[in-house]
Amino acid sequence: MNKDFDTEDCYTVEGKLALPYTYFAGRVGSSFITTIRDKKKILGVKCNACDKVFVPPRQTCEKCFEEISGNWVELKNTGEVVNFTVVRYDDRHLPRKAPFILAMIKLDGADTPMVHILEGIEADKVQAGLRVQGVFAEETTNTILDIDHFEPVRAQQKIT
Ligand SMILES: [Zn+2]
């Protein structure tokens, strides 16, 4: 019950929607996805005015309002966990069966985090600062899931 709107004979009902949808990815979003799909590379855009690097890329800088969509920078597929959550319910629109981890991951060289699936580690072992790497999908879905997931960088593995 919402005290701002509810009265004796009229009240609000709290509900929940799960809607499949399509959207237009635009020039910037489309290039981001097709470059992951075709070249297995992750692109960001850099604002020439403030040097901020956005991943996922965007058309304008949120700070300067400069047009930045053409200023592509190629990033490594490594980065670190900024924050995370564990999804504990199943839904046909979710990319994995529960439970699974969704993490905000800031790629090396990026100033903004992207959300993606984190695998290969138990949730109680995940901490901010955990070094992770993206694993590209074998088959394309023409979505951000062309990066299949991120996983911890193994200690003996050399980052190039
Ligand atoms: Zn800027």
Residue 153 confidence class, pLDDT cut points 50, 70, 90:
very high
Q: Per residue in 56-109, pLDDT tens? A: 999 999 999 989 988 999 999 999 999 999 999 998 889 999 999 999 999 999
User: Could you give the 3-state DSSP secondary structure of residue 48?
Assistant: coil
Of residues 33, 37, 38, 55, the one with CA closest to residue 46 = 55
**How many whole angstroms from 142 Cα to the centroid of ligand 1?**
29
Task: Return phi, psi of residue 73, to 5°.
Answer: -130, 140
Q: Say if pTM beats, i.e. exceeds, 0.85.
A: no
**How many whole angstroms from 146 Cα to the centroid of ligand 1?**
28
**How many whole angstroms from 97 Cα to the centroid of ligand 1?**
38
pLDDT at 49: 95
Which residues surround the ion ligand 1 when the cut-off is CB under 5 Å? 47, 49-50, 61, 63-64
> In the chain, what are the domain boundaries?
26-152
pLDDT at 21: 80
Mean pLDDT value across residues 39-62: 96
Query: Residue 152 CB: number of other CB atoms within 10 A?
Result: 17
State yes or no: pLDDT of 4 exceeds 70: no
State yes or no: pLDDT of 154 exceeds 90: no
**How many whole angstroms from 83 Cα to the centroid of ligand 1?**
24
State yes or no: pLDDT of 150 exceeds 90: yes
- Mean pLDDT, all residues of the chain: 91
The token duo for 100 is 């699974």
Output the DSSP codes for the chain: --TTT--SS----------------HHHHHHHHHHHHHH--EEEEE-TTT--EESS--SB-TTT--B-TT-EEEE-SEEEEEEEEEE-S--TTSSSPSSEEEEEEEETT-SS-EEEEE-SS-GGG--TT-EEEEEE-SS--SSGGGEEEEEEPPTTPPP-
